[in-house]
C-alpha cells in the first residue's frame, strides 16, 4: 500500500529505464508522485515502466535525452514541466561505468564517463536551480566505491567524487529556497551495470562484504531515495547517505 509520503509532487528521474533508476521511479510513483522517466537508448524499456506505473493508478511518461548534452537536458526539463506543470524532485541517476586499468584508459573513455556522470548531473542541477519549485529535492546518485579503494575504478570514482563535492556546494547555494541537495551512494547492487564483466563468484564475493551477506537490490536504494525526497527529510541537506548494507 502506498505511503503517499510525497503525495502530489512531480519528479524527474534520469536513467530510469532499468536498474536503480526504474526502482526509484516505481517507488516514487507508489508514494503518489507523478514521474518523468528519462532514458537514452531504449524506449521500450522506459515505456514498460510507464505502463506498469499506469496500471497501478500512477502517473508517468518517458522522455529521451542524452544528459551529457546541455541542450538535451534543457529540452528534458521543458518536456517535464510542460507535461505536469511543475518540478519538485530531481533524481540524477543516469550514469555509466568504465572499469579498466589506468594504463589502458583512453581519452574517449574519459570524455564519455565524465560526460554522463559529471556533466549530466551538473546540467540537470543547473536546470533545477532555474526552474524547481521552492522546497524541492535534488538527490544525486554516487557510489560507495569512492571509499572502497578498488583497483581499476580510478576514473569512475573520480566522476562520483565530483558529484559528491558538487552536492555539498549546491546544498548551501539552494538552501535559501528550501531546496535540499543530497547524495545517495549505493554499495554493490544487483543491477546490469554492476554485473557487467563479473562472474557469479565475483558477485558472491562483493555480497559478502555487506553486513547482511548479500548484494543490495535496486529497491533497497529506492527506499532511501524516497525518504530523502519526502517532507520528512526537510532538515537533511548536503549529506552523503551510503546505502550499502554496511559494506563500508
> ∠108-46-26 over CA atoms, to 5°?
115
What's the CATH number for 10-191+218-236?
Answer: 3.40.50.720
Q: Has this prediction a pTM greater than 0.75?
A: yes
Q: What are phi and psi of 92, to 5 degrees?
A: -90, 90
Cα dihedral 27/33/39/44 (nearest 10): 80
pLDDT digits 0-9 by tens, 22-35: 999 999 999 999 99
Q: Which is catalytic among the residues 7, 39, 153, 156?
A: 156
Band of pLDDT at residue 8, cut at 50, 70 and 90: confident
pLDDT digits 0-9 by tens, 72-108: 999 999 999 999 999 999 999 999 999 999 999 999 9
Q: Which three cell numbers stand for residue 26?
A: 516505481
39 counts as catalytic: no
pLDDT digits 0-9 by tens, 184-210: 999 999 998 888 878 999 999 999 999
Pick left, alpha or beta for residue 36 (phi over 0 → left; psi -120 to 50 → alpha; otherwise beta).
beta
Please state, rounded to an integer, the average pLDDT across all residues of the chain: 95
For residue 177, give the 3-state DSSP assignment.
helix
Residue 7, pLDDT above cutoff 80: no
pLDDT digits 0-9 by tens, 107-143: 999 999 999 999 999 999 999 999 999 999 999 999 9
User: At 105, which helix (H) or strand (E)?
Assistant: none
> Rounded CA gap, 36 and 225, in Å?
16
Give the HSE-up count for residue 12: Cα atoms under 13 Å, Cβ half-sphere: 36
Distances (CA, A) of 12 to 22, 85, 95: 12, 12, 15
CB within 8 A of 120, min separation 6: which ones? 14, 67, 68, 73, 92, 94, 95
DSSP state of 147: G
Q: Write out the E strands in the chain.
A: 10-13, 34-39, 60-64, 89-92, 137-141, 180-186, 240-243
Task: Judge whether 177 and 220 are in contact, CB under 8 Å.
Answer: no
Report which of 55, 122, 74, 128 is spatially closest to residue 95, judged by C-alpha positions: 122
Q: What is the pLDDT of residue 1?
A: 36
Amino acid at each position: 500500500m502506498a505511503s503517499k509520503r510525497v503525495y502530489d509532487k512531480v519528479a524527474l528521474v534520469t536513467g530510469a529505464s532499468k536498474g536503480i533508476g526504474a526502482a526509484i521511479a516505481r517507488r516514487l510513483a507508489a508514494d503518489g508522485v507523478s514521474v518523468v522517466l528519462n532514458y537514452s537508448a531504449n524506449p521500450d524499456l522506459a515505456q514498460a515502466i510507464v505502463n506498469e506505473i499506469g496500471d497501478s493508478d500512477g502517473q508517468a511518461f518517458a522522455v529521451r535525452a542524452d544528459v551529457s548534452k546541455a541542450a538535451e537536458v534543457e529540452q528534458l526539463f521543458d518536456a517535464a514541466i510542460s507535461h505536469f506543470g511543475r518540478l519538485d524532485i530531481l533524481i540524477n541517476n543516469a550514469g555509466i561505468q568504465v572499469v579498466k586499468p589506468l594504463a589502458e584508459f583512453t581519452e574517449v573513455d574519459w570524455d564519455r564517463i565524465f560526460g554522463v556522470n559529471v556533466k549530466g548531473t551538473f546540467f540537470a542541477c543547473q536546470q533545477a536551480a532555474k526552474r524547481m519549485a521552492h522546497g524541492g529535492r535534488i538527490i544525486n546518485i554516487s557510489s560507495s566505491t569512492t571509499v572502497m579503494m578498488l583497483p581499476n575504478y580510478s576514473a569512475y570514482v573520480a566522476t562520483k567524487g565530483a558529484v559528491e563535492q558538487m552536492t555539498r556546494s549546491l546544498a548551501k547555494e539552494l538552501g535559501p529556497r528550501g531546496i535540499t541537495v543530497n547524495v545517495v551512494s549505493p554499495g554493490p547492487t544487483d543491477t546490469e551495470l554492476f554485473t557487467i564483466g563479473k562472474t557469479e563468484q565475483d558477485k558472491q564475493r562483493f555480497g559478502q562484504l555487506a553486513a547482511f551477506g548479500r548484494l543490495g537490490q535496486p529497491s533497497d536504494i529506492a527506499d532511501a531515495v524516497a525518504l530523502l525526497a519526502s517532507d520528512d527529510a526537510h532538515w537533511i541537506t548536503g549529506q552523503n547517505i551510503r546505502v550499502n548494507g554496511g559494506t563500508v
